[in-house]
């Protein structure tokens, strides 16, 4: 059943009411695939407003789509109603999810991320020129190691109220070491997709067909964007961590696609960032007593990734 507000929103912003529901999902945001009365297929996305961050995400997505990047083009800007940011975009179904975690698959995933970062570098961030956008801050919580709060973890409302003694010591200790390592980094920031998981990409063969979840845009050093993706790309049905050799293949392919190798500091930043999303997910699994997918991967790989990160 569609929420009561949606029909009126569609009439006001798209000029037609919904006729058929093609898809609906509710997780951290609400997504509705709709066929409108005039025959158009659209996606409506609603998520908690974060003080304008969503508008930046939509405008970056609009720029990328206009320049031929494989993502749905926004059809409206962002409107805020009852604390929720809402926009419409093209309905872009189809394609296949790639769930392999081998080095060859890692190289496939690296190239479109490098292309995305290169394209987005033409967008002015924080300026006053036409087309300029504000930085999409705060960064998504699974890449928010740059918080200014006490301890290694950022404040995440949906994890509050849990008994944090349930988080294994090795997870919190790894988070402390990564937080300290990345807090000492002063590198230029870029726009990049921070939830570069298998579940958010669809493919036609070895060519990307659709990159989804542009709410997960981040403003971070490029090595951190690539590093986080090198660990997270393996996440299909459940958040996990790619094997170390596959992360290495991802980083090599990313640097090749960008035409610039990372320097020694950036390499350490990339490895540090590769572990943080998995630590975030491992912590959540422990607090919710969920199946320990990320927890198991972190237990197996944390020390090696910490060593490569110089942490």
- Whole-model pTM over 0.75: yes
Architecture (CATH level 2) of domain 18-90: 2-Layer Sandwich (3.30)
pLDDT block averages, 10 residues each, the chain of length 311: 90 96 84 95 91 92 97 96 92 94 97 98 90 92 90 84 81 96 92 97 96 96 98 94 98 97 97 97 93 96 98 88
DSSP string, 47-59: EE--TTHHHHHHH
CATH superfamily of 103-308: Aminoglycoside phosphotransferase (APH), C-terminal lobe (3.90.1200.10)
Domains 18-90 and 103-308 share a fold: no
Q: What is residue 78's predicted lDDT score, i.e. its pLDDT?
A: 95
Q: Using CA atoms, how far apart are residues 233 and 211, in angstroms rounded to an integer?
A: 12
* Best CA proximity match to 85, nearest among 213, 215, 195, 193: 215
Q: What is the dihedral of CA 301, 309, 155, 199, to 10 degrees?
A: -60
DSSP state of 140: P
Q: Using CA atoms, how far apart are residues 27 and 42, in angstroms rounded to an integer?
A: 19
Is the bond preceding 138 in cis, omega lying within 30 degrees of 0? yes
Q: What is residue 163's predicted lDDT score, i.e. its pLDDT?
A: 65
Q: What is residue 235's predicted lDDT score, i.e. its pLDDT?
A: 95
Q: What is residue 139's predicted lDDT score, i.e. its pLDDT?
A: 94
Domain spans of the chain? 18-90, 103-308
The contacts found for 10-17 with CB under 8 angstroms, 24 or more apart, are 10/34, 10/36, 10/42, 10/44, 10/88, 13/76, 13/79, 13/88, 14/40, 14/42, 14/75, 14/76, 14/88, 16/40
Q: How far is CA 201 from the centre of its chain?
A: 11
Task: List Cα–Cα distances, 259 to 180, 229, 265, 297, in angstroms.
Answer: 30, 18, 18, 31
């Amino acid at each position: 059943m569609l929420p009561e507000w949606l029909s009126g929103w569609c009439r006001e912003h798209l000029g037609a009411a919904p006729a058929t529901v093609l898809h609906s999902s509710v997780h951290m945001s609400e997504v509705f695939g709709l066929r409108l009365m005039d025959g158009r297929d659209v996606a409506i996305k609603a998520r908690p407003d974060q003080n304008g961050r969503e508008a930046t995400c939509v405008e970056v997505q609009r720029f990328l789509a206009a320049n031929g990047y494989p993502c749905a083009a926004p059809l409206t800007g962002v409107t805020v109603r009852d604390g929720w940011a809402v926009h419409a975009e093209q309905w872009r179904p189809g394609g296949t999810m790639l769930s392999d975690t081998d080095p060859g698959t890692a190289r496939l995933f690296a190239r479109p991320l490098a292309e995305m970062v290169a394209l987005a570098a033409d967008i002015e961030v924080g300026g006053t020129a036409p087309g300029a956008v504000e930085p999409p801050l705060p960064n998504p919580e699974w890449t928010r190691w740059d918080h200014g709060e006490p301890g290694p973890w950022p404040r995440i409302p949906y994890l509050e109220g849990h008994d944090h003694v349930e988080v294994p010591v090795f997870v919190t200790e790894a988070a402390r070491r990564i937080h300290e390592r990345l807090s000492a980094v002063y590198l230029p920031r870029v726009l990049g997709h921070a939830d570069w998981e298998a579940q958010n990409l669809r493919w036609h063969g070895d060519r990307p067909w659709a990159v989804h979840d542009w709410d997960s845009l981040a403003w971070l050093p490029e090595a951190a964007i690539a590093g986080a993706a090198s660990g997270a790309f393996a996440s299909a049905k459940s958040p996990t961590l790619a094997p170390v050799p596959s992360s290495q293949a991802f980083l090599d392919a990313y640097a090749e696609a960008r035409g610039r190798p990372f320097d020694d500091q950036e390499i350490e930043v990339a490895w540090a960032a590769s572990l943080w999303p998995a630590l975030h997910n491992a912590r959540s699994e422990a607090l919710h007593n969920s199946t320990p997918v990320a927890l198991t991967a972190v237990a197996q790989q944390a020390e090696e990734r910490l060593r490569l990160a110089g942490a």
